[in-house]
Amino acid sequence: MIPFNSPPIVGSELDYMQQAMGSGKLCGDGGFTRRCQQWFEKNFHSPKVLLTPSCTASLEMAAILLNIQAGDEVIMPSYTFVSTANAFVLRGAHIVFVDIRPDTMNMDETLIEAAITDKTRAIVAVHYAGVACEMDVIMQLAEKHHLYVVEDAAQGVMSTYKGRALGTIGHIGCFSFHETKNYTAGGEGGATLINDPALVERAEIIREKGTNRSQFFRGQVDKYTWRDIGSSYLMSDLQAAYLWAQLQVAQEINQHRLGLWKQYQRALQPLQDGGYLLLPTLAPHCTHNGHMFYIRLPNVETRDALISYMKEAEILTVFHYIPLHSSPAGQNFGRFCGQDIYTSQESSRLVRLPLFYNMSDVMQKTVITTLLSFFA
Ligand SMILES: *Cc1c(COP(=O)(O)O)cnc(C)c1O
Same domain, 292 and 200: no
Indicate whether residue 179 lines ligand 1 (CB < 6 A): no
Residue 345 placed within a domain: yes
- pLDDT of res. 29: 96
User: Which residue has the CA at smallest separation from atom 14 of ligand 1?
Assistant: 154
Indicate whether residue 192 lines ligand 1 (CB < 6 A): no
Beta strands in 15-111 (DSSP E): 48-52, 73-77, 94-98
Residue 58 placed within a domain: yes
Cα distances (angstroms) measured from residue 115 to each of 66, 132, 346: 19, 21, 21
Indicate whether residue 5 lines ligand 1 (CB < 6 A): no
Same domain, 168 and 30: yes
How far does the centroid of ligand 1 lie from the alpha carbon of residue 190, in Å?
A: 9
Q: SS3 sequence, 285-323?
A: CEECCCCCEEEECCCHHHHHHHHHHHHHCCECCECCCCC
- pLDDT of res. 320: 85
Overall pTM > 0.95: yes
User: Which residue has the CA at smallest separation from atom 8 of ligand 1?
Assistant: 178
Q: Which residues share a beta bridge with 160?
A: 165, 287
How far does the centroid of ligand 1 lie from the alpha carbon of residue 110, in Å?
A: 25
How far does the centroid of ligand 1 lie from the alpha carbon of residue 188, in Å?
A: 10
How far does the centroid of ligand 1 lie from the alpha carbon of residue 126, in Å?
A: 10
- What CATH number did the domain enclosing 324 receive? 3.90.1150.10
- pLDDT of res. 268: 98
Indicate whether residue 56 lines ligand 1 (CB < 6 A): yes
Q: Can you spell out the DSSP letters for 236-274? A: PHHHHHHHHHHHHTHHHHHHHHHHHHHHHHHHHHHHHHT
Same domain, 37 and 140: yes
Question: Which of 224, 247, 270 is the last residue before a domain boundary?
Answer: 247
- pLDDT of res. 226: 97
- pLDDT of res. 7: 97
- pLDDT of res. 44: 98
Same domain, 284 and 223: no
CA gap 248, 196 in Å, rounded: 27
Query: What does the radius of gyration of the chain's CA atoms come to, in whole angstroms?
Result: 21
- What CATH number did the domain enclosing 164 receive? 3.40.640.10
Same domain, 99 and 235: yes
Determine the structural domain holding residue 140 and report its residue range: 13-247
User: Are the beta carbons of 185 and 243 closer than 8 angstroms?
Assistant: yes
Amino acid code (one letter) for 164: R
Indicate whether residue 81 lines ligand 1 (CB < 6 A): yes
Same domain, 231 and 275: no
Indicate whether residue 83 lines ligand 1 (CB < 6 A): yes
Per-residue pLDDT of the chain (376 residues; tens, 9 = 90+): 999 999 999 999 999 999 999 999 999 999 999 999 999 999 999 999 999 999 999 999 999 999 999 999 999 999 999 999 999 999 999 999 999 999 999 999 999 999 999 999 999 999 999 999 999 999 999 999 999 999 999 999 999 999 999 999 999 999 999 999 999 999 999 999 999 999 999 999 999 999 999 999 999 999 999 999 999 999 999 999 999 999 999 999 999 999 999 999 999 999 999 999 999 999 999 999 999 999 999 999 999 999 999 999 999 999 989 999 999 999 999 999 999 999 999 999 999 999 999 999 999 999 999 999 999 9
How far does the centroid of ligand 1 lie from the alpha carbon of residue 83, in Å?
A: 7
Indicate whether residue 55 lines ligand 1 (CB < 6 A): yes
How far does the centroid of ligand 1 lie from the alpha carbon of residue 312, in Å?
A: 29
Indicate whether residue 211 lines ligand 1 (CB < 6 A): no
CA gap 376, 355 in Å, rounded: 23
Which of 52, 133, 178 has the most ligand 1 atoms within 8 A of CB, as the residue to mutate?
Answer: 178
Residues serving a catalytic function are: 181
Same domain, 154 and 284: no
User: Which residue has the CA at smallest separation from atom 2 of ligand 1?
Assistant: 154
Contacts of 201 (CB under 8 A, 6+ apart): none
Question: Which of 188, 222, 247 is the last residue before a domain boundary?
Answer: 247
